[in-house]
Amino acid sequence: WPRGARREDGALTVGGVDVRDLATEFGTPLYVYDEEDFRSRCREFAAAFSDGDVYYAGKAFLCVEVARWVRDEGLGLDVCSGGELAIALRAEFPPERITFHGNNKSTAELTRALEVGVGHIVVDSYEEIARLGHLARELGVRPKVLVRVTTGVEAHTHEFIATAHDDQKFGFARETAQEAARRVVGIKELELVGLHSHIGSQIFDTDGFELAARRVVELLVAIRDEHGVELPELDLGGGYGIAYLEGDDPLDPKHIADNLRGIVTRACEEKGLPVPRLTVEPGRTISGPGGVTLYEVGTVKPLEGLRTYVSVDGGMSDNIRTALYGAEYTAALASRRSDADPMLSRMVGKHCESGDMVVRDLWLPSDLAPGDLVAVAATGAYCRSLANNYNHVPKPAVVAVRDGRARLILRRETEDDLLRLEVSP
Ligand code: LLP
């Protein structure tokens, strides 16, 4: 840990590549993706849900190359903005395998989605239902629509990433979901095919998913009873937790699939409803575990009686999760072996604020020195995708490694990239 084998001299390898070679060739900070890890997680989910559909949630991490991996592994893609859609289209992702999400999609975004023929649009408000109906009429198309339902489930996770409790912005509460379905059914240019529920992210126990599944089935029943339509699809979102720390115990995709399938099947059979086709939208679970961020140590500052501050060449611009959610990570010296005693450390970035931490508490060898490389594990989800240019720091490059070979898949930003936005000469 972090994932990857160690060479005899103690250097970490990812996908068979020595991290020192990666740093030399591509610079640091550097996001490194183990392509085989990503692909095998796609396959694992696809196998577990072989009687349903798996859509990778691109918000976890998306670029053209990754969209191609997802496409080639036969998964669908969940996008939630025009930008994510543009990346998918550049990758020639089949539009019919794309689901378009978002609580405030613009008219331009909806128009583009309809023009290219995305497979599903998840509606999130009354305004959007009317807007979509109007656009579909204008364009002469009939999109498949899912209604996003908030099931009132309190997911056991950080407040910012829970999405189904009552007091938040997404979807339709149970009381209004039926009215939403009524409105979609009332617009002949829209084809209501199912309901959607996503309860939150980085969740380890199945209770919340189970309760949400039961509640959406109740709604399917209510919709059948009112409109006489039996909706063929049920999308239960993503949110499955991954291991950031050594003790974390993630759910197994097969276990998730068996559980959800069992609950939906039983609940439907009880009510005499045909069992809908299930969809899940894992993001973090697919891209997270196989990603590692490499940094170079710049300064090592021991604070007497407190701890040692280890500054690296990135920080909250390439991983804001620690500052934003109090997220915890594991990191280790990656470029050599050390038998020195461990020292209580805090790995911090180069940004101008003291909340700029990559790893809040960790033990690093006491002979750590400038020029050493450190690797942070499980940074493949919501790190590059949440990256920002705070302090005008350019975003790091992304490299994919596989079978002992490394390939640049997103180049490092340069100061010229930042200056390109300036309109003053
Ligand atoms: N489907 C929908 C509708 C979603 O909103 C999300 C995540 C997913 C699927 C994928 O969830 P996952 O399997 O990746 O947990 N920035 C936060 C996570 C925000 C998740 C937003 N929605 C973080 O860094 O933890």
Ligand 1 mean position, distance from CA 25 (Å): 32
Tell how far the Cα of 153 is from the centroid of ligand 1, in angstroms. 16
pLDDT at 153 > cutoff 90 = no
Question: What does the domain layout of the chain look like in residue ranges?
Answer: 13-32+290-419, 49-286
Closest CA to 384 of 19, 12, 30, 24: 30
Paired residues of 100 in beta bridges: 79, 121
Taking 90 as the threshold, does the pLDDT of residue 168 lie above it? no
Query: Is 282 flagged in the annotation as binding?
Result: yes
The model's pLDDT over 174-189, given as tens digits with 9 standing for 90+, comes to: 889 999 999 999 999 9
What is the DSSP annotation of 111-132?
Answer: HHHHHHT-SEEEE-SHHHHHHH
Question: Which of these is catalytic: 42, 63, 268, 352?
Answer: 352
Domains 13-32+290-419 and 49-286 share a fold: no
Bridge-based pairing of strands 357-365 and 342-348 is antiparallel
The pLDDT of residue 3 is 65
Q: Place 1 in a pLDDT band, splitting at 50, 70 and 90.
A: low
Q: What pLDDT sits at residue 268?
A: 95
At residue 162, does pLDDT exceed 80?
no
Q: Is 325 annotated as a binding residue?
A: yes
- What residue spans of 272-411 are helical by DSSP H? 284-287, 321-325
User: For the segment 234-277, what is each residue's pLDDT rounded down to a tens digit?
Assistant: 999 999 999 999 889 999 999 999 999 999 999 999 999 999 99
Residue 425 confidence (pLDDT)? 85
CATH 3.40.50.2300 fits 49-286, yes or no: no
Consult the annotation and say whether 284 binds a ligand.
yes
For ligand 1, say whether the CB of 194 is within 6 Å of any of its atoms: no
Query: How much is the average pLDDT of 50-79?
Result: 98
At residue 156 the predicted structure's pLDDT band, cuts being 50, 70 and 90, is: confident
Q: Give the per-residue pLDDT at 159.
A: 74
Could you tell me the two tokens for 264?
């939906």
pLDDT, one tens digit per residue, over 104-138 is 999 999 999 999 999 999 999 999 999 999 999 99
The CB density around residue 385, as the number of other CB atoms within 10 Å, is 16
Cα–ligand 1 centroid distance for 285 (angstroms): 10
CA of residue 45 to ligand 1 center, whole Å: 16
Q: Which long-range contacts (CB under 8 A, 24 or more apart) does 311-314 make?
A: 311/348, 311/349, 311/350, 312/29, 312/347, 312/348, 312/349, 312/350, 312/358, 312/374, 313/28, 313/29, 313/350, 314/28, 314/29, 314/349, 314/350, 314/358, 314/393, 314/396
Dihedrals phi, psi of 146, to nearest 5 degrees? -115, 145
281 is an annotated ligand-binding site residue: yes
Rounded to the nearest angstrom, the distance between the alpha carbon of 344 and the centre of ligand 1 is 32
76 lines ligand 1 (CB under 6 A): no
Q: pLDDT tens digits, residue range 84-109? A: 999 999 999 999 999 999 999 999 99
Pocket flag, ligand 1, residue 238 (CB < 6 Å)? yes
Q: Is 239 annotated as a binding residue?
A: yes
Rounded to 10 deg, the angle between the 107-116 and 126-139 helix axes is: 50
Q: Average pLDDT, stretch 285-309?
A: 98
pLDDT at 369: 98
- Note the pTM of the prediction, 2 decimals: 0.97
78 in contact with ligand 1, CB cutoff 6 A: yes
| Tokens matching residue 353 | 């604020």
Distance 405 CA to ligand 1 centre (A): 30
Q: Kindly state if the Cβ of 284 falls inside 6 Å of ligand 1.
A: yes
Q: What percent of the chain has pLDDT over 70?
A: 99
384 CB near ligand 1 (under 6 Å): no
Task: Round to whole Å and give the CA distance between 46 and 255.
Answer: 13
| Residue 2 clears pLDDT 70, i.e. is over it | no
pLDDT average, residue stretch 218-226? 95
The pairing of beta strand 357-365 with beta strand 13-14: unpaired
Percent of the chain whose pLDDT exceeds 90: 92
- Tens digits of per-residue pLDDT, 376-393? 999 999 999 999 999 999
Domain range 13-32+290-419, CATH architecture: Beta Barrel (2.40)
Helix (H) or strand (E) holding 56: strand 53-57
- 150 Cβ below 6 A of ligand 1: no
Give the Cα separation of 338 and 363 in Å (integer).
12
Q: How far apart are CA 98 and CA 77, in angstroms?
A: 5
Q: Do residues 220 and 192 make contact, with C-beta atoms less than 8 angstroms apart?
A: no
**pLDDT tens-digit map of 340-387:** 999 999 999 999 999 999 999 999 999 999 999 999 999 999 999 999
Determine the atom of ligand 1 nearest the C-alpha atom of 196.
3
99 lines ligand 1 (CB under 6 A): no
Closest C-alpha to 396, from 407, 410, 382: 410
* Per-residue model confidence as pLDDT tens digits over 9-30: 999 999 999 999 999 999 999 9
* 80 labelled catalytic: no
As a whole number, the mean pLDDT across the chain is: 95
Q: 190 near 180, Cβ under 8 Å?
A: no
Pocket test for ligand 1, best of 80, 148, 201 (most atoms within 8 A of CB): 201
Beta strands in 242-315 (DSSP E): 277-280, 291-303, 307-312
Residues 6+ apart with CB under 8 A from 63: 87, 398, 409, 410
Confidence band for 422, pLDDT divided at 50, 70 and 90: very high
